[in-house]
Amino acid sequence: MTHATHAPCTTLPSWPHAYPASGARATLKALNEDFIVTELPLQLPCGTGEHLWLDVEKNGANTAFVAQQLAAAAGVTERDVGYAGLKDRHAITRQWFSIYLPTGKAGETPDLTTLEHPEFKVLAQSRHVKKLRPGDLQGNRFRIVLRDVKGEREAIEANLKAVAAQGVPNYFGAQRFGFDGGNVEQGRAMLAREIRVRNPKKKGIYLSAVRSFVFNEVLAQRIAQGLWGRTLPGDVMDEAGRPTGPLWGRGRVITTDEAQALENGVAERHATLCSGMEFAGLDQERRALVALPADMTWEWPQADQLVLSFSLPAGNYATSVLDEILHTTEPERHAENEPEAEAEAP
């Protein structure tokens, strides 16, 4: 694969939607309680083991901050605290944390349910045999209040019904790419060897952003070609029978025919990114092109207020669901998204 020269990409493209725009607008996260996220764990603690699992509800705090506070309260280092995924700060979220705390080392188990903090509380605790690691969850349940809704309810309802029946494009959300898409540009510069990134965590964030960008470009190309809801000859399907797109890396693209031609066409347009990811040691993986919200319901408590509830698998973004229904804006404090707020999977 030959290297190509690309202009800096500091603003993300406007990737196409699957459904006609409703023309409606609303305010998202006017209050923390307008965005409630409940983690759906892969398993629950068994009651014994060297790890103390904590069921935590947080309000206005990010996940890493809560992990720091729990480490301090338990008298351990931050690396002894685990969690399955990062959750939004400007929301009320409920998730599990684990602390490596063998009873022989620390004496009696501390009762962290008595911990008092204005931004989080420990609802329950129990022991388990393993540490929580990123991705150790089924998904998340969302309850979202949209305020100041302006637009035709008929058009909004049409998109709500389409989303509930057919799902949405499984785009990576804007928070994966950093403010104004800056992580993609940093990643491009890193892979083109224009800059050197020594910090392993930053390097991982930039690689993740670039990989997600290429996936979104493949998905956008399919939608732009009128292929939403269709299977192409040569597609690789997931366990649910839905077509997948590439998470770029080393190895041959396992699609064939028309699907492979489309993916290789996108890779050629972003040759610096794709060859750089191969050189960085990432392996080819696949991700579903469709995200299907489960148990999706909605109601209108007021004429200008819409309440949505649905569940999504790990690594899917609630913003991808909202984007297909109406255009949302957040208070100014949310202008710069926190990284990876809803992403747990690669």
Q: Closest Cα to residue 59, out of 31, 91, 94, 30? A: 91
Q: 237 and 230 in contact (C-beta within 8 Å)?
A: no
Angle at 214 between CA 10 and CA 317, to 5 degrees: 85
Structure tokens, 262: 């489309």
295 catalytic, yes or no? no
Cα separation of 54 and 33, whole Å? 21
List 34, 80, 88, 136, catalytic entry: 88
Q: Closest Cα to residue 301, out of 90, 144, 91? A: 144
A 10 A CB-CB count for 283 gives 11
Cα separation of 99 and 48, whole Å? 13
In DSSP notation, 59-114 reads ES--HHHHHHHHHHHHT--GGGEEES----SSSEEEEEEEEE--HHHHSSPP-GGG
Grouping H, G, I as helix, E, B as strand and the rest as coil, residue 286 is strand
Structure-token match 């569940």, residue found: 311
Q: Which residues are catalytic?
A: 88
